[in-house]
A and B are shown apart, each in its own frame.
Chain A
Amino acid sequence: MSPEEQLRVLAESTRIPPIQQRLSESAEFPLRAREVEILQINVGRLCNLSCRHCHVEAGPARSETMSGETFDLCSAVIRSHPFLTVDITGGAPEMNPHLPGFVQRVAGHAARLIVRSNLVILLEPEYRHLIELFARNRVEIVGSLPDYRSGRTDAQRGGNVFARSVEAIRMLNDAGYAADGSDLALHLVHNPVGAYLPASQAALEREYRRALQESHGARFNHLFCFSNMPVGRFLDFLLRTDNYEDYLSTLSSAYNPAAAANVMCKATVSVDWEGRLFDCDFNQVLNLPVDSAAPSHIRHFDMKRLSGRRIVTANHCYGCTAGMGSSCQGATAQSKAS
């Protein structure tokens, strides 16, 4: 579906009030950005996997990929704003040929440097060397693993992905990631394999840790739980399986003012593969650029004008405000569950 069609579907849901109304009720409308703390960079939509929930609809046939020139513009921003957390995503970021050089240029200039990985790409001979490069540059790895068993992981991400992911985790462990006494962080991401919301992060983290360590000898630092956004392939899935209205109702019923108060977009600017600026990765997919009063391209990055900007919202934002909240760093509200 085109971005316009997706937005039309999201706007036409009959069983939920518009997100702007819910935000107003909790005194969060219009959502306003704070100072930018996180520069999220989507370096392209090329990926070795074609996951069934992927909001970016990434895959091996995608050709969108960030150029060296755009990477240079991002580097300049990072070097002149050393307090930024740099959060690199894709597609599979490892498949962008400019990534190694970029990591080496910005390491040490960013407060934190994060690469979101599908893990299995690191087993490919062409990309194995990146593990050592990531470790040397203190890159935090956030790896996708939707379930701690093979059935659901493989159903979402493809045959044998679970076993290969575990193998990649063990290789990262061997390089010092999540090792005792090491500051190399490896976090995992859980997202539901279907039309339901994740349970509490703490409860699932316990199960992941028990299963991965005991059965597979694989270690990680923390588990982040994401809700699936009704965007891209997951939106297609919801519509195709007649789950769309129920899922939107579930998200709306789980609207949490505390999660809305802490949405990640308030502290983030998201750069797409062409250098255009957005409030989040989902707005990239829906072609909703930052408010017109803010600079629209990384070339014109201006902290003052981006801080306090009005965040562009549509009903997909319910995905980040439901339950304990969902952000690229996991839950945003405190859980009462132990």
Chain B
Amino acid sequence: MSDTYYEKTDLLDFPNIGEYACEQGAAFFDYYQKATAASALSEREKSLIALAVAATQHCPYCIDAYTTKCLSLGLTNDEMMEAVHVGASMAAGVILAHATQMRKIIKKKGM
């Protein structure tokens, strides 16, 4: 064990995440592969979505993997940054939407 929780080389261990639950692991990889492969959406579009999700979920492994994949697919820095902004604005919107609860309570309890 190292002294840090996140290590760059952990990404190489991703294929082994089915350890201790092989059936579920295999099912996950089958699903993951189908969900991320080109279909109605292209590989480029799906990779940008994955990059935005990776950033919003703060996953360093996924950010590394999907930034590299986007580069391989010839996506530009601008396109990748725009995808991250979609994720960031969605996250901000989700938080602000939840302020509805706050606003409702303020109105209910206020005089």
Residues of A within 8 A of B (CB): 15, 147-149, 151, 190, 192, 194, 196-200, 203-204, 207, 246, 249, 253, 337-338
Contact = CB atoms under 8 A, between A and B. Distances in A.
Interface in B74-96: 74, 76-77
A246 B77 CA distance: 21
25 contacts: A15-B9, A148-B74, A151-B76, A190-B74, A192-B72, A194-B71, A196-B71, A196-B72, A197-B72, A198-B72, A199-B43, A199-B69, A199-B72, A199-B73, A199-B74, A203-B42, A203-B43, A203-B73, A204-B74, A207-B44, A249-B12, A253-B12, A337-B37, A337-B38, A337-B43
Contacts of B68: 196
A204 B73 contact: yes
Contacts of B71: 192, 194, 196
Nearest to B15: A253
Given A196-B68, A199-B69, A337-B38, A147 B12 contact: no
B71 to A, nearest CB: 5
Contacts, number: 37
Nearest to B71: A196
B76 A203 contact: no
A58 B65 CA distance: 32
Interface string B45-75: 0000000000000000000000011011110
A200 B69 CA distance: 11
Interface of B: 8-9, 12, 37-38, 42-44, 68-69, 71-74, 76-77
Nearest to B67: A196
Contacts of A15: 9
Given A15-B9, A199-B73, 10 more contacts: A192-B71, A192-B72, A199-B43, A199-B74, A203-B38, A203-B42, A204-B74, A207-B44, A337-B38, A337-B43
Contacts of A249: 12
Contacts of B37: 337
Contacts of B44: 203, 207
Nearest to A197: B72
B110 to A, nearest CB: 55
A331 to B, nearest CB: 13
Nearest to A203: B43
Q: Which 6 A-B pairs have the closest CB atoms?
A: A199-B72, A199-B73, A196-B68, A196-B71, A196-B72, A207-B74
Contacts of B42: 203
A337 B46 CA distance: 13
Contact of B74 (A147, A197, A246): A147
Contacts of A194: 71
A148 B20 CA distance: 46
Contact of A149 (B12, B72, B73, B76): B76
Contacts of A192: 71-72
Nearest to A147: B74
Contacts of A207: 44, 74
Interface centre among B12, B43, B72 (most CB of A within 10 A): B72
B86 to A, nearest CB: 21
Contacts of A200: 43
A199 B42 CA distance: 13
A15 B7 CA distance: 15
A151 B37 CA distance: 28
A196 B66 CA distance: 11
Nearest to A198: B72
A196 B44 CA distance: 16
Nearest to A190: B74
Nearest to B72: A199
Contacts of A246: 8
A338 B77 CA distance: 24
A204 B38 CA distance: 13
